[in-house]
Structure 1
Amino acid sequence: MAATRSSASAAAATSAEIVVEDMKRKRILSSKLYFDVPPNKVPVVYSPSYDISFMGIEKVHPFDSSKWGRICQFLVVEGFLDKNRLVEPLEASKDDLLVVHTEEYLKSLRSSLNVSLIIEVPPVAVFPNCILQMKVLKPFRSQVGGTILAGKLALERGWAINVGGGFHHCSSDKGGGFCAYADITLCVEFAFTRLGVSRVMIIDLDAHQGNGHEWDFANDGRVYIFDMYNRNIYPHDFEARRFIDQKVELQSGTTTEEYLERLNKELQVAQSAFDPELVIYNAGTDILDGDPLGRLKVSPQGVIIRDEKVFCFAQEKRVPLVMVTSGGYMKTSARVIADSISNLHNKHLIDLDGTLQ
């Protein structure tokens, strides 16, 4: 009798999983986030709706919540980008988010207290939730749409940069660390279903451990996670570290020379460890010397070289690459990211003139 009950429970569980997967697939196939981008546009994704600014919130958290617009402004003013050639994404809908997130988690974002804990700005707990939905979560949802669209553009053009995104502390049922939605996980799931991709490598070089996508892809052999982070800082998620395929732990105070030497060695390991069809690169600039949260000592030029190395890695493997900008807690981050993107163009690793790769 016990065996019969066990078999029935297993069958019911399998049936429920099939229903969930079928619903996920239907949501992805019906999504409007993938759309055809004219060839005269370059695969740099940005919307003015990315930027967060209201009631001085941007002064309360160390994160530069207007850096995304300033990155594009630098590139446009200096002649590297024509603003009319930028790709503007659509905002992720509830159905899009439900591809990864649970209904319970999305409901939790209707609480201003919960949102304040996720973005680490306690004063916003007293704001009406409708304001936070419009002024904080809507910009995040726009950036999610940008990361997902960047996956499609990368497969078409060889590379794509979402000027925002990289919310790597958020998993399907939990947010944190200024990350309310799991854009990297969503990008991967959309690529699996709509782009025919079966193997993805996540290269996470933000100063913080990317515990969100690590939980989402725990023991998923289709996703190879290479995470190089400061082991001494947030989130201290030791359980999630078990799901990192290539774990590179740094100490606070790691210098530019040490960082780049270690990255060189680890990229060589990754070169032969996994054969991806898409690379998602989480390019946080909180590794910069002086960043109050990253606590590493990498120079601006070191960040530029780091990004160049990752793009060279993808080019050598002939694999499309999506870059997202992730963390960076100094006003100088926008300048460094813009300089890095212009360097990638100058080194012919990307083409900001609009020629298809």
Structure 2
Amino acid sequence: MPHRTGLYEDPPSACWPIIYSPDYNITFMGLEKLHPFDAGKWGKVINFLKEEKLIADDLIVQAREATDEDLLVVHTRRYLNKLKAGKLAVDRGWAINVGGGFHHCSSDKGGGFCAYADITLAIKFLFERVQGVSKATIIDLDAHQGNGHERDFMDDHRVYIMDAYNRYIYPGDGFAKRAIKRRVELEWGTEDTEYLQKVHTHVEGALNELKPDIIVYNAGTDILDGDPLGGLAISPQGIVKRDEVVFKAARSRRIPILMVTSGGYQKRTARIIADSILNLHNLGLIDKELAASGVANPKVEQMIRDSAKGLANLSLQ
């Protein structure tokens, strides 16, 4: 029997499936302003979306704190506040957690700024609690290898992992790579054209190889040109297009998708994340009607086909 939990209470239907808590932001007497990383980027993303009139405070799903019993599904007694996004994605067709994506943490070990295995927890909760969810695909497009969830699902054939990362940077976990079904190892300084072509090819290939019941999309912005840890050279427009490619692939197949924002260590990443979410909305890939029905409309499907055709010829431009 599944244990009792407060994480899976249904939010009001009027809410966007966008999950956030002010607790995501790290503050300490102003000292966070001296740090080169943007410790408050998640709050800035929400503020940008408010300024554009996409969302308001009462339309956001508030993240909840997990109990000890919740955390024992994977961890020992630790704190986590991001689990319910998985069910929300299944119910509404999509969800975006403005935070999360701690892909270096496995069930028994943290690493690389990651204290909690939230991707593992979200998927295991879905397998345990949501009827009809028995297969999951992780599309990890953070600049770093997602060795945490790879170790957790090493021998679990229900989970298909695609991972595209800079081959020369942390963590270089050779053992964890054995769990990757579709591995895309990138060179230093990879730029938009090559990157987007590879993302399109391998996302399509992954979803054609196995149609999952849920996609967990780790949308790290540390691929941005100039990121001190990523070592790639993707433009802001390239990041927006990347997210569009993944959502179009999911929506065209009517697969629920949960997006988490993961790494990104420059001050401008919050604006890029917000711009990407706004772009998804403007293209009709996320909206309240689509969220409620989980079914793509014909105009969106035609747009997806046209875009896919254009991306296939991207390298010729």
Taking structure 1 as the reference length, what is the TM-score of the superposition?
0.79
Number of residues of Structure 1 aligned to a counterpart in Structure 2: 292
2:290, 2:14 → 1: CA distance?
A: 6
1:325, 1:279 → 2: CA distance?
A: 14
Task: Please say if 1:58 is aligned against 2:36.
Answer: no
Give runs of aligned pairs for residues 27-66 of structure 1, distance below 5 A.
Answer: 29-55=3-29, 58-59=32-33, 62-66=36-40
What amino acid is aligned across from residue 130 of structure 2 in structure 1?
A: L
- The higher radius of gyration belongs to 1
For the residue of structure 1 that corresponds to 2:122, the secondary structure is helix
Q: 1:205 aligned to 122, 135, 141, which one?
A: 141
Task: Please say if 1:152 is aligned against 2:126.
Answer: no
Report the Cα offset of residue 355 of structure 1.
Answer: 6.4
1:74-122 per-residue CA deviation (whole Å, 9 max, x = no partner) reads 000121112210010211222222210146xx5xxxxxxxxxxxxxxxx
Check the 8 A contact 2:19/2:63 in 1, yes or no.
Answer: yes
Check the 8 A contact 2:92/2:290 in 1, yes or no.
Answer: no
2:193, 2:85 → 1: CA distance?
A: 31
What amino acid is aligned across from residue 270 of structure 2 in structure 1?
A: A
Task: Please say if 1:286 is aligned against 2:222.
Answer: yes
1:246, 1:255 → 2: CA distance?
A: 20
1:218, 1:199 → 2: CA distance?
A: 14
What amino acid is aligned across from residue 57 of structure 2 in structure 1?
A: K
Task: Please say if 1:305 is aligned against 2:241.
Answer: yes
Task: Please say if 1:93 is aligned against 2:29.
Answer: no
1:190, 1:265 → 2: CA distance?
A: 30
Q: Which moved more, 1:325-334 or 1:52-61?
A: 52-61
Paired residue for 1:267? 203
Provide structure 1 residue ranges, at least 5 long, that are not aligned to the other structure: 1-24, 107-140
1:150, 1:57 → 2: CA distance?
A: 31
Report the Cα offset of residue 333 of structure 1.
Answer: 0.5
2:206, 2:290 → 1: CA distance?
A: 30
What amino acid is aligned across from residue 141 of structure 2 in structure 1?
A: L
Paired residue for 2:212? 276
1:111-149 per-residue CA deviation (whole Å, 9 max, x = no partner) reads xxxxxxxxxxxxxxxxxxxxxxxxxxxxxx4xx432x21
Check the 8 A contact 2:224/2:232 in 1, yes or no.
Answer: yes
1:192-215 per-residue CA deviation (whole Å, 9 max, x = no partner) reads 011121000000000000000000
State, as a whole percentage, how many aligned pairs show the same letter.
57
1:273-314 per-residue CA deviation (whole Å, 9 max, x = no partner) reads 111000000000000001010010000000000000000111
2:138, 2:175 → 1: CA distance?
A: 18
2:94, 2:12 → 1: CA distance?
A: 15
Report the Cα offset of residue 50 of structure 1.
Answer: 1.2
Report the Cα offset of residue 70 of structure 1.
Answer: 0.4
Check the 8 A contact 1:42/1:354 in 2, yes or no.
Answer: no
Provide structure 2 residue ranges, at least 5 long, that are not aligned to the other structure: 294-317
Paired residue for 2:54? 80
1:59, 1:234 → 2: CA distance?
A: 25
Task: Please say if 1:178 is aligned against 2:152.
Answer: no
Q: Which moved more, 1:229-238 or 1:261-270?
A: 261-270
What amino acid is aligned across from residue 177 of structure 1 in structure 2?
A: G
Q: CA RMSD in A?
A: 1.6
Paired residue for 2:283? 347
Task: Please say if 1:68 is aligned against 2:3.
Answer: no
Cα 1:353–1:195 change in 2 (3 A) is closer
What amino acid is aligned across from residue 44 of structure 2 in structure 1?
A: R
What amino acid is aligned across from residue 241 of structure 1 in structure 2?
A: K
**After TM superposition, where is structure 1 displaced by more than 3 Å over at least 4 residues in a row?**
59-63, 352-355
Paired residue for 1:320? 256
Paired residue for 1:164? 99
2:193, 2:178 → 1: CA distance?
A: 28
1:85, 1:354 → 2: CA distance?
A: 16
What amino acid is aligned across from residue 72 of structure 2 in structure 1?
A: L
